[in-house]
Amino acid sequence: MNFDPDLFISYTHIDNQSLSPDQDGWISTFHKALEIRLSQLRGEMPRIWRDRKLQGNDYFSDAIFETLSNAALLISILSPRYLKSEWCMRELQHFCQTAAQSGGLKVGDNKARLFKVVKTYLPRDQHPSEFESFIGYEFFEFDEAGRPQEFDKLYGPALERKFYAKLNDLAYDIHQTLQILEALPGGDRVQGNTVVATPNTFHGKNGVDKTIYLAETSYDLTEARDKIRRELTMAGHRVLPDQPLPFTPNFAQQVREHLAHCVMSIHLVSPQGTRVQGADSPSGQALQQLLAARSQEQIEIAANCRQARGEMTRILWMPPTAQIDETDEFLQTLQRQPDFLSTPIEALKTVIQDRLTQPEPLPDPDSAANGSRKVYLDCDRRDLETADIEPLYDWLEQRFQVVLPDYEASSLSQSEALLKQCEAVLIYHGQASGLWLKRRLLALKKTLYARPKPLLAKAVYVAGPATPTKQGFSDPDMPVIDGLREFNPGLLEPILAPLKGGA
């Protein structure tokens, strides 16, 4: 199948008009940058066609029909004017019709010959029907007032950087799709309206590609989600969902179907919520609440899938600068989950990479023998000489394997090594100083980044002697158990309950 050109850009003339006389139009800038980036990825100049003399009174010539028919891919740059342009609608419809006769619109498992670039905000229900199942590439974001801002250097360096980051995502996906199409003469086949690529076209590092669920998020975390998606895709992994999730009762079923194929689910959470156009209006507030509910539902579905399928891991992440409202019970509960992280995004990427590339730990023979989990009871040596710890230790030992620090080789590195062997950790703060507790908490947080699987449970157990500092102690990343009074197993049971399920 010989295509020429590689790429056809469909756009309206008005979207290429610059607000500044000294600056190229948005479409011209987009075309030039995409051509350069694709040249770098492919090692050769791509053949991109765009009608540079496009005018409102031009006729849809036979030459353009022929170019569209021979194009490998089509980029439609959506805007309010695009929807009103009979010319653009005819280009889109003609490409879809001819593509159905030349191999189909879909290629491989999750690629398409049609790319939707949204330059100017359009409500999703106004997008052409041809794009119903496409997520697309949004070159805009919403500001704090809920107004859309286009990615354009005219509006400052921050939005210019986002323009090039989004364009890089688009260029990489175009590059991958062209690679599939170029492989077609090697014996691939057409099934219905889908071009089926040869097996093993793309792989992750070391020849292992995986499927990861990257949940929908709010607009304030779109840039962070794009960074994660970009790195996962460039490593050869498949990222789901690869099309918009429905606003219907089928939403939950669609999420479960995606998760059934995934080895990991990643959820980026923001207390700020989702900013949408007209966020202060009743309709905007309703949409904002709906998107927040969808985010929460995806987290809960992933938790159920993880419990049913022990091999799937889940990561919950929130920016370290985020402030959680005390009245937000869901987020307050979420941050106590063992797979919750609040780190810089670079640390999050390291955690994801480690969990995707590290081999599964070999089963511990002692644990396999009696079927119990290992709980690391991190305490000071002096605590073992007091009676306060005895009821706690006895209760834990009846249910789990209790691992104590190696006091002969006492060091933070040794503590970290023991932590990695256990499914849960309980930091017992009794006789030791507050500085000891801070060092143990830092060691724990450092160890979480290197674990192939998240801890199933973690907590700080505050015991006697009672001090004002202990009585007021709290930690944003850890549940705190008040053991200053008599031993109460009811405080431990809900926190250690995940140890009774699958790994």
What CATH number has the domain bearing residue 492? 3.40.50.10140
Distance of CA 250 to the CA centre of its chain: 21
pLDDT of residue 107: 79
**Mean pLDDT within 13-25:** 89
Q: Is 174 a residue whose pLDDT tops 50?
A: yes
Q: Is 461 a residue whose pLDDT tops 90?
A: yes
Distances (CA, A) of 267 to 264, 424, 482: 10, 22, 30
Residues 136 and 237 in one domain: no
pLDDT of residue 151: 94
143 versus 503: the higher-pLDDT residue is: 143
Residues 174 and 320 in one domain: no
DSSP 227-291: HHHHHHHHTT-EEE--SPPPSSTTHHHHHHHHHTT-SEEEEE--TT----TTTTSHHHHHHHHHH
Q: Is 503 a residue whose pLDDT tops 70?
A: no
Residues 187 and 218 in one domain: no
The helix or strand, by DSSP H or E, that contains position 332, with its residue range, turns out to be helix 329-334
Residues 92 and 173 in one domain: yes
Domain that holds residue 477: 365-500
Q: Verify cis geometry, omega within 30 degrees of 0, for the bond prior to 494.
A: no
pTM, rounded to two decimals: 0.56
What confidence category does residue 176 fall into, taking pLDDT thresholds of 50, 70 and 90? confident
Instruction: Return the SS3 of 428.
Output: strand
pLDDT of residue 472: 82
pLDDT of residue 250: 83
Q: Is 279 a residue whose pLDDT tops 50?
A: no
194-216 tens-digit pLDDT: 444 333 333 344 445 789 999 98
Summary mean pLDDT of the chain: 79
Using a pLDDT cut of 70, give the percent of the chain over it: 80
pLDDT of residue 283: 46
Residues 115 and 248 in one domain: no
DSSP 319: -
**Which tokens go with 372?**
């119990």
Q: Is 2 a residue whose pLDDT tops 70?
A: yes
Give the domain-ending residue among 175, 199, 223. Answer: 199
Nearest Cα neighbor of 396 from 364, 420, 373 is: 373
Lowest mean pLDDT among 18-27, 361-370, 457-466: 361-370
59-115 tens-digit pLDDT: 556 678 788 888 999 999 999 999 999 889 989 999 998 888 776 788 776 678 999
Give the domain-ending residue among 166, 199, 232. Answer: 199
Residues 310 and 279 in one domain: yes
Return d(Cα 128, Cα 141) in angstroms, integer. Answer: 21
Residues 20 and 151 in one domain: yes
Kindly report the number of other CB atoms within 10 A of residue 86's CB atom.
9
Residues 338 and 374 in one domain: no
Q: Is 350 a residue whose pLDDT tops 90?
A: no
367 versus 267: the higher-pLDDT residue is: 267
Q: What's 297's domain CATH number?
A: 3.40.50
45 versus 412: the higher-pLDDT residue is: 45
**Start-to-end C-alpha separation, the chain:** 48
Instruction: Return the SS3 of 449.
Output: helix
Residues 218 and 180 in one domain: no
pLDDT of residue 202: 30
Residues 387 and 427 in one domain: yes
Q: Is 360 a residue whose pLDDT tops 50?
A: no
Q: Is 450 a residue whose pLDDT tops 80?
A: no
Residues 178 and 234 in one domain: no
What confidence category does residue 438 fall into, taking pLDDT thresholds of 50, 70 and 90? confident
Number of domains in the chain: 3
